[in-house]
Amino acid sequence: MARKSIPSKNGLDQERTALPPQSNRTSADAAKERSASSSVSTAQRFAQTVTKWTGSTPAFAVAFGAVAIWAVTGPVFHYSDTWQLVMNTASSIVTFLMVFLIQRSQNKDALAMHVKLNEIVKAVEGASNRMVDVEDLSESELRRLEGRYQTLAKKVAKSEPGLTGEISVENRRVTE
Residues pairing with 78 in the sheet: none
Q: What is the pLDDT of residue 4?
A: 44
What residues does each domain of the chain span?
1-39, 42-136, 139-175
How far, rounded to the nearest angstrom, does the alpha carbon of residue 156 sit from its chain's CA centroid? 33
Q: What is the pLDDT of residue 85?
A: 96
Phi, psi angles (nearest 5°) of residue 151: -60, -45
Alpha carbon distances (Å) from 163 to 99, 124, 152, 159, 175 = 45, 20, 13, 9, 10
pLDDT tens digits, residue range 109-140? Answer: 999 998 898 888 888 888 877 888 788 888 99
Q: Which helix (H) or strand (E) holds 174?
A: strand 173-175
Instruction: Tell me the pTM.
Output: 0.56
Strands (E), 8-105: 13-18
pLDDT tens digits, residue range 28-62? Answer: 555 555 554 457 799 989 999 999 999 999 999 99
Q: Are 120 and 134 in contact (CB under 8 A)?
A: no
Q: What is the pLDDT of residue 155?
A: 85
Q: What is the pLDDT of residue 81?
A: 96
97 vs 107: CA distance, rounded Å: 16
Q: What is the pLDDT of residue 18?
A: 41
